[in-house]
């Protein structure tokens, strides 16, 4: 407002001035609330929130939630190492003869060998495609006239085709090593001399996708019967739109599911949580508690990051003490496991729970509820509270889910298993940008879930893919994990 406009309001009397001041105060409160939200967003990083590390940019990190190890840097004494060893079995021996003297030029072919010096070189032979022709005999029975034919092997289904080894390499490069299709074609051409088109790559991937259908159902059923399962979800771009990748996994199994929704509709169609009766580990997304026939436990790695934000942004002393308490309990549980114990003592449990309650009381006292202004219009739902109080209320109402790892050693401290399984999917998007179709996203998810399961069970992915294309897929460990 200009000075003339302010004078005009003043001349209108007290009511006009009061209305102007009240409007300015209301606007000021709105701006302060907006500044608070923006400052909180600006202070969030991957260390104190659920934001990915890629969003941190190139800012130097000065703090870490990880506790420094007592071990020195570099290789550890118990590490086996992977240096080249002298091999007793060699594939080729090349003799380098001495034919003449380096000093005087005398001929030495007839002279005896006084010593041999040996060196070994590890290398690969020249790579090239081999063409195998399968000949099937046809014979006519002289007694009945019946035509009898031999049988072609499973990899020879048409007149000309690629074999299971090359098909396995194609899928391994695209889905295992996340190479784009064009670069996969370049690699196959330059390394193997195989001029493969991108259409051929997609056809081979489609074949792999179809052959993995029964195996994927087996993995899904095995996860459903497991005692402890990790769940998580993350955004992904499909045909220019935001979709969601859901994961259900254990230490030995991985199952991915792609859907255009994040919440309960997607989880229902995924087909695990609606029937799961074990222990579900997740990050507290609001759709998970809707499945009340299983036990829910929260990821404490998320809590540690949120507590770090409370310390840095809001200077909350109780938050530092709470994060210290959670880490102390974790160390005590790890020590008890190493000693062969199956639980903490009653004295330890009581002491930890008492400390937990005391810190909650301190935090709630320092962050009283925010009352709405007397003349503010009544809104539906709970009154808005500060971030520290919201975190405190969650830690209070879900104490059993937060401290479950303390009471049952089978319950993990965090949900890192699911986050590790999702990480490769995020890397895929960084490489390729997005999936151009829903079908492509489903194909990648099924194949990647199979490869993740193979690695967890100590099997070689490329060998398993070759066996799959040969018609003899390698068996997986599908018994429920206890």
Percent of the chain with pLDDT over 90: 70
pLDDT digits (tens, 9 = 90+) for 217-239: 999 999 999 999 999 999 999 99
The answer, yes or no, to whether residue 77 has pLDDT greater than 70, is: yes
Tokens 């118990």 label which residue? Answer: 78
Domain-located, residue 199? no
> For every residue of 312-380, which 3-state class applies, written as one string?
HHHCCHHHHHHHHHHHHHHHHHHHHHHCCCCCCCHHHHHHHHHHHHHHHHHHHHHCCCCCCCCCCCCCC
Domain-located, residue 76? no
pLDDT digits (tens, 9 = 90+) for 106-153: 999 889 999 999 999 999 888 889 999 999 999 999 999 999 999 998
Diameter of the chain measured on Cα atoms: 126
State the Cα–Cα distance between residues 302 and 308, nearest whole angstrom: 10
Do 270 and 341 fall into the same domain? no
Among 262, 153, 154, CA closest to 207:
154
Do 236 and 333 fall into the same domain? no
Do 358 and 449 fall into the same domain? no
pTM of the full predicted structure?
Answer: 0.82
Among 415, 312, 277, 233, CA closest to 48:
312
Contact (Cβ atoms closer than 8 angstroms) between residue 293 and residue 277: yes
Mean pLDDT of 369-392: 79
Alpha-carbon distances, residue 250 vs 27, 245, 291, 420, 462 (angstroms):
51, 17, 19, 11, 22
Residue 172 DSSP one-character state: I
Domain-located, residue 448? yes
pLDDT digits (tens, 9 = 90+) for 266-280: 999 999 999 999 999
- pLDDT given for residue 482 in this prediction: 45
307: tokens are 């507590």
Do 391 and 441 fall into the same domain? no
Domain-located, residue 255? yes
Domain-located, residue 355? yes
Contact (Cβ atoms closer than 8 angstroms) between residue 434 and residue 239: yes
Do 231 and 292 fall into the same domain? yes
Do 233 and 285 fall into the same domain? yes
Do 292 and 225 fall into the same domain? yes
Parent domain of 256: 220-298+427-456
Q: For the packed helices 198-211 and 461-469, what is the interaxial angle rounded to 10 degrees? A: 80
pLDDT digits (tens, 9 = 90+) for 335-376: 999 999 999 999 999 999 999 999 999 999 999 998 776 666
Domain-located, residue 9? no
State the Cα–Cα distance between residues 390 and 398, nearest whole angstrom: 12
Domain-located, residue 186? no
Higher pLDDT pick, 414 / 5: 414
Domain-located, residue 478? no
Do 294 and 309 fall into the same domain? no
State the Cα–Cα distance between residues 242 and 259, nearest whole angstrom: 10
Mean pLDDT of 74-87: 78
Tokens 């052959």 label which residue? Answer: 211
Number of independent structural domains in the chain: 2
């Amino acid at each position: 407002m200009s000075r003339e406009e302010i004078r005009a309001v003043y001349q209108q009397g007290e009511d006009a001035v009061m209305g102007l001041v009240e409007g300015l105060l209301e606007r000021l409160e709105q701006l302060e609330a907006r500044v608070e939200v923006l400052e909180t967003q600006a202070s969030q990083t991957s260390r104190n929130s659920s934001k990915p590390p890629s969003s941190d940019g190139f800012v130097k990190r000065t703090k870490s939630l990880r506790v420094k190890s007592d071990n020195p840097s570099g290789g550890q004494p118990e590490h086996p190492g992977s240096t080249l060893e002298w091999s007793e079995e060699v594939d080729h021996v090349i003799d380098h003869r001495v034919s003449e003297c380096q000093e005087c030029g005398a001929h030495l072919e007839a002279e005896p060998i006084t010593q041999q010096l040996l060196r070994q070189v590890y290398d690969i032979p020249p790579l090239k495609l081999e063409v195998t022709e399968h000949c099937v005999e046809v014979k006519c029975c002289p007694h009945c006239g019946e035509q009898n034919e031999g049988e072609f092997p499973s990899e020879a289904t048409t007149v000309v085709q690629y074999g299971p080894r090359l098909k396995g390499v194609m899928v391994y490069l695209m889905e295992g090593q996340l190479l784009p299709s064009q670069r996969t074609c370049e690699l196959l051409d330059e390394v193997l001399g195989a001029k493969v088109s991108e259409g051929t790559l997609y056809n081979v991937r489609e074949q792999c996708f179809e052959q993995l259908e029964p195996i994927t159902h087996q993995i899904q059923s095995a996860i459903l019967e497991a005692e402890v399962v990790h769940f998580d979800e993350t955004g992904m771009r499909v045909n220019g739109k935001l979709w969601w990748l859901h994961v259900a996994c254990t230490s030995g199994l991985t199952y991915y599911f792609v859907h255009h929704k994040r919440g309960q509709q997607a989880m229902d169609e995924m087909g695990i949580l609606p029937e799961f009766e074990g222990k579900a580990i997740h990050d507290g997304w609001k759709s998970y508690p809707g499945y009340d026939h299983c036990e829910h436990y929260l990821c404490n790695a998320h809590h540690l990051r949120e507590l770090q934000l409370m310390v840095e942004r809001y200077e909350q002393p109780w938050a530092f003490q709470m994060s210290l308490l959670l880490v102390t309990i974790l160390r005590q549980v790890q020590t008890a496991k190493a000693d062969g114990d199956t639980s903490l003592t009653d004295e330890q449990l009581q002491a930890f729970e008492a400390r937990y309650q005391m810190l909650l009381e301190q935090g709630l006292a320092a962050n009283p509820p925010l009352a709405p202004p007397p003349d503010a219009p009544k809104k539906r739902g709970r009154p808005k509270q500060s971030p520290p109080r919201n975190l405190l209320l969650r830690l209070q109402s879900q104490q059993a889910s937060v401290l479950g790892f303390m009471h049952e050693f089978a319950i993990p401290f965090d949900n890192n298993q699911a986050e590790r399984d999702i990480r490769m999917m995020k890397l895929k998007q960084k490489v390729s940008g997005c999936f151009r179709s829903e079908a492509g996203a489903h194909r990648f998810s099924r194949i990647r879930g199979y490869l993740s399961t193979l690695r967890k069970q100590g099997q070689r992915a490329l060998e398993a893919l070759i066996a799959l294309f040969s018609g003899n897929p390698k068996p997986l460990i599908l018994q429920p994990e206890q």
